Structure 1
C-alpha cells in the first residue's frame, strides 16, 4: 500500500486546491474531481517485488480524485476502498491508482472512466445503447462481481454490498467497471464460500438492498446477486429503479412492476422503447432484443431477484446465461445482415 501513497501537495496542485472548475460529481460524503496527475503506471507493471518506489515507472494520466468531505462517516469507507481495491486487478473492477491521508485530509485516486456511471447514462439524453451493448455491459458487471466472489492468490472473497447503476462506470469503449467499495466486506479465506454472516447495521442503497438481509441482518454473497438483478432490469428498461415513471405507476419503484409483468407474461413491455425504434442505418436494424435473447436475459435477471438467498443463481450461472442471451442476439443479427446482402446482390 505504501507505494500508492501520493503527496497531498501534488493533489492540491493538480486540482488547484480542489477548485470547483475540476469538480465532476460526488456523493453524500465525498466530492470527485477530474485532473491530470503523475501516478504509478500500475497497469503496465508486471511486478513490484524487490523494487523501491522511486524505481517504479510513472505516467501522467487523467484521473478521478475523490476527496472525502465527511470525516466521521467517510473514514471507514476510505479504508475499505483501499483495502479492497489494493487486492483487486481485473478489467471490470475500477483501478485504484493512489491515495493520500495527510493533515486530516483523505483522498483516493482512481483511473478516470470517461463515460461516467451507468446511472448517469440512463439519466442523460445520449444515444441509446443497443440490446447487444446492454447484454455486454451486463456481462462485464457479472464478470467483475464473480471475480470479487472468487478466492485466488493474494485476493480473498469480497462482498461488494452496494451494487447499483450509479456504482458501475463505463469507459470510452463502454466497458463496464464495478466501483465504490466503501461498504465492501472480506470473507475470511478459511470460511466456506456459502458462509452466512450477520451485521447489526443495514448497509447498502434503498431498492437495491437484499430483502432477506433487510429482514434478518444475515447475508451471503447472494446479496450482490440480488442487487445485480435490480441493475439488469434497469439495463432492460433504460430507467433507474427509483425513476419517477415507476413511482407514478405503482408508487413503489420498478421491482413490483417487474414481478407483476413477469407473472402476467407482459415483461417485454418494460423494454426501453429507444432500442426498438427504427434506424436509418442498415447495421443497426433490430437494435432491440429478439424473443429468444430477451427470454434468456429476463429469465436469469428474474432469478437473481428471488426472495431467498439460497434460491438465487451463482454468478457463474448468471454469466453463462447472459453469454447465451448475447449469442442468440448476435446470431440473428448476422442472419439478417446475410439476407440483406443477398437481397442486394441477387
Structure 2
C-alpha cells in the first residue's frame, strides 16, 4: 500500500462504532476534526493483506488505487462523496460522507415504515441517473491548429486497452459526410484513455429539439433524419452497429444544416446506453446490439424530433423497463402518445421500424431509398417564413415577390431571441406538375443550390405552399428581365456596347452551367434577369423545371432548336447554343424573333432552316458578330460551336468594338 498517498492525518480522526461491512474492509462511524468544525463521517478500514502472496497484494493494491481515483473524479448528487484517505493502525482507510439514514437494504428489511410506490420509483430513478450518467466526460482542445473534442474514458479494464486502440484505428478509416471524424486515441498522464474527434460548432440534436427557444421547420427535421439514415446505412455496410444511438449522440454542424453521428466507438465494457432508445429484444438477448436494434432506435429518435418530446416522457424510467418485455406492435405508439396518420408515408415507415419483431423491420438501405424518394426531404424553406407582397401573373407562369425572414441557416432553425434575422426580398415561382416530374426537379435542386457564379441567379431553396405545390425561392431582380427592358421600355436608349455586355455575361453564365453538366432547356430573354441598374445580367429558370411548362412552349418556340421542335425533347448543350444565337439577334435588333409569323408556324419554319432576318446587320459595323449568330443557329447540332468557343469569339469581337462606345442603336 506504499503507493497510496494519504491526505488526512490519523490524529484528526476519532473512530467510533462499527456500522457495517464494505468491499475491501469494515466500515465505522467516526468524527473528523477539520479546521472549521467536527463532522460525522464513515470510515472504511481496508483489511490487512500481509498474509497474501505478493501477486495478490499487487492486484489488491491496484484495485484500491483504481477505486480511489474513480471516486475522486465523481461529482454527482447520487454518488457518495470521498473526502480523503488516511491511516488507522497501519491500515489504509477511506473517509466517506456519512449516511444518517443508513443503507437502502436496512431501510427496506429492518424497518416497518410504509413506503409508497412513488418513493420506491423515485429511489430507483436516482439510482438509474447514477448508472446512466455515462462513461466519458469531454473537453475541447487545440490539436494541429484546429479545435477538437477530447472524450475521456472514465472506467475501463486494462485488458481491453489493446482492443480499444485497434477499434479506433479501424474507425478512423470511416469517411462519410454525416459521421463525426475520429482523429485518433491517446492516454492522459493519469493513464485515462481519451478519444480525439471533430468539434461540433452547433448543439447536439437533443439540445436543439428540447430547447423551446429554437424554432425548427418541419422540413429541417426531415433533412436531419435523412442524413442520420444515410450515416447508419454506411455504418451497417461496414458491419458496424452503433451501441449508443440517441439524439444526444447526433451532433449539428454548419449553422444547423448538417447532422453527424458521434460516439461510434463500441468496446462493450466502455459503452453506456440511454435505455429509452433500446429495442425491446435487447432485454431478451442479454444486451446484444444488432442492426435492427439501430433501426428501432432511429424510429424513436424520429418521433422524438417530430414531437419534440423526450421518449416516454410521461413514464418513469423504471416503468419503461417493465413494459419493454410485453410490447406489441402498436403499443409503443400508445406509450409515446403519437397517432399514426395512415395516409402519411413517413409515419408508416416509422411504424414499420417500431415493429416488435426485429425481422419485420426494414433495413437501413431500404429506409434511405424510401425517404430519398419523398420530395419533402428536399424542402429547405419554410413557407410560413415568407411574407407575400405583390403578384405577377403572366401567360407562362405564376410569380410573386415575398419578404423572407430567415436566419443564417436559411430560416429552418431559428431562436426566439434572434435579433439578427435577415429579411430578404425574393421571387417565388410556383410549379404545377405531377409527382413524377416534381421528383425530377427536386433531384436537380441540390446541384443548383451548389452553383456560385456572378451571372447565375441564386436559388435560395424550395418551399411547399399551403396547396402542396412546389415553389422555387429565387433571387429577386429589381430591374426585372431583359425581355421587359428590350420590348416594354422602348423609350430607353440602349448603347450598342451595353447590348454586347449583356450578351457577353449571358455567354459566361451559360458556359458555367454547361461546365456543371446543367442544360438550361428554356433559354429566352424572359429568363435573363437584370440587376444593379441593368448593368448586371444573371441567368435564371434553368434545368428540369422548364420541361413542365406546357403553356410556356408557345413563348419559347422562337428559341427552340430544330431537334427540340421535332417533339422528342432532345435537349442538349447545343440546343442551348441555338437559343443563345436567337437571343443574340433579339438583343442587337431589339425586336421579337419571328414576330410577323403565326406562333403555330414558327416551329415548322425553324425545322426547315428559316432564321430571323439579318439583312439590317450586313455592314461593316456588325461584321464580327453576324458569323457568331449564324454559327449558333446552324441546323445540325453537331455543326454548332460550344459555349466556350462562342465566348472566345465574342470576347475578340467586343475588343474590336470598344472604341465605338458612343455608338448606339435604338
Kindly state the Cα deviation for residue 138 of structure 1 after the two structures are TM-superposed: 0.5
Assess, with a 3 A threshold, how the Cα gap between structure 1 residues 88 and 326 changes in structure 2: closer, same or farther.
Answer: same
Pick from 502, 510, 518: which aligns with 1:158?
518
Kindly state the Cα deviation for residue 23 of structure 1 after the two structures are TM-superposed: 0.6
Which consecutive unaligned segments of at least 5 residues does structure 2 have? 1-219, 224-256, 258-378
Answer whether contact 1:81 1:180 (CA < 8 A) is retained: no
Assess, with a 3 A threshold, how the Cα gap between structure 1 residues 5 and 72 changes in structure 2: closer, same or farther.
Answer: closer
Structure 2 residue 531 is the aligned partner of structure 1 residue 181: no
Assess, with a 3 A threshold, how the Cα gap between structure 1 residues 26 and 66 changes in structure 2: closer, same or farther.
Answer: farther
Instruction: Give the match for residue 106 of structure 1.
Output: 470
Instruction: Give the match for residue 561 of structure 2.
Output: 210
Assess, with a 3 A threshold, how the Cα gap between structure 1 residues 315 and 81 changes in structure 2: closer, same or farther.
Answer: same
Alpha-carbon distance in structure 2 between the residues aligned to 1:259 and 1:182: 25
Structure 2 residue 617 is the aligned partner of structure 1 residue 268: yes
Pick from 27, 30, 38: which aligns with 2:405?
38
Instruction: Give the match for residue 508 of structure 2.
Output: 143
Instruction: Give the match for residue 191 of structure 1.
Output: none
Larger relative contact order (Cα-Cα within 8 Å, sequence gap ≥ 6): 1
Instruction: Give the match for residue 28 of structure 2.
Output: none
Alpha-carbon distance in structure 2 between the residues aligned to 1:88 and 1:165: 21
Q: Partner of 1:296: helix, strand, or coil?
A: coil
Alpha-carbon distance in structure 2 between the residues aligned to 1:333 and 1:61: 36
Answer whether contact 2:496 2:661 (CA < 8 A) is retained: no
Q: Deviations over 1:21-75 (max 9, x none)?
A: 61134554x4211222124659xxxxx9xxx955998521211122335566973
Q: Partner of 1:247: helix, strand, or coil?
A: coil
User: Could you say which structure has the larger radius of gyration?
Assistant: 2
Residue pairs, 1:213-252, within 5 angstroms:
213-215=564-566, 217=568, 218-243=570-595, 246-247=596-597, 252=602
Answer whether contact 1:40 1:58 (CA < 8 A) is retained: yes
Instruction: Give the match for residue 380 of structure 2.
Output: 5
Alpha-carbon distance in structure 2 between the residues aligned to 1:148 and 1:130: 28
Q: Partner of 2:651: helix, strand, or coil?
A: helix
Assess, with a 3 A threshold, how the Cα gap between structure 1 residues 136 and 6 changes in structure 2: closer, same or farther.
Answer: same
Instruction: Give the match for residue 313 of structure 1.
Output: 641
Alpha-carbon distance in structure 2 between the residues aligned to 1:73 and 1:119: 31
Assess, with a 3 A threshold, how the Cα gap between structure 1 residues 142 and 260 changes in structure 2: closer, same or farther.
Answer: closer
Alpha-carbon distance in structure 1 between the residues aligned to 2:455 and 2:529: 9
Assess, with a 3 A threshold, how the Cα gap between structure 1 residues 252 and 78 changes in structure 2: closer, same or farther.
Answer: closer
Residue pairs, 1:58-73, within 5 angstroms:
59-69=422-432
Structure 1 length-normalised TM: 0.66
Answer whether contact 1:149 1:159 (CA < 8 A) is retained: yes
Alpha-carbon distance in structure 1 between the residues aligned to 2:537 and 2:620: 25
Structure 2 residue 452 is the aligned partner of structure 1 residue 85: no
Assess, with a 3 A threshold, how the Cα gap between structure 1 residues 63 and 305 changes in structure 2: closer, same or farther.
Answer: same
Please say which of residues 68-77 and 223-232 is displaced more in the overlay. 68-77
Alpha-carbon distance in structure 1 between the residues aligned to 2:423 and 2:504: 31
Q: Deviations over 1:130-150 (max 9, x none)?
A: 111111101111111100111
Answer whether contact 2:628 2:646 (CA < 8 A) is retained: yes
Answer whether contact 1:39 1:59 (CA < 8 A) is retained: yes
Q: Partner of 2:597: helix, strand, or coil?
A: helix
Structure 2 residue 482 is the aligned partner of structure 1 residue 118: yes
Q: RMSD value over aligned CA atoms?
A: 3.7
Alpha-carbon distance in structure 1 between the residues aligned to 2:474 and 2:654: 30
Q: Partner of 1:158: helix, strand, or coil?
A: coil
Alpha-carbon distance in structure 2 between the residues aligned to 1:183 and 1:260: 27
Q: Deviations over 1:275-326 (max 9, x none)?
A: xxxxxxxxxxxxxxx934x221221011100111111111111111221222
Which consecutive unaligned segments of at least 5 residues does structure 1 have? 16-20, 43-47, 151-155, 186-200, 270-289, 337-346
Q: Which has the higher helix share?
A: 1
Alpha-carbon distance in structure 2 between the residues aligned to 1:261 and 1:27: 27
Alpha-carbon distance in structure 1 between the residues aligned to 2:427 and 2:392: 9
Alpha-carbon distance in structure 2 between the residues aligned to 1:142 and 1:107: 27
Q: Partner of 1:329: helix, strand, or coil?
A: helix
Alpha-carbon distance in structure 1 between the residues aligned to 2:504 and 2:525: 14
Structure 2 residue 532 is the aligned partner of structure 1 residue 168: no
* Count of equivalent residues: 270
Structure 2 length-normalised TM: 0.36
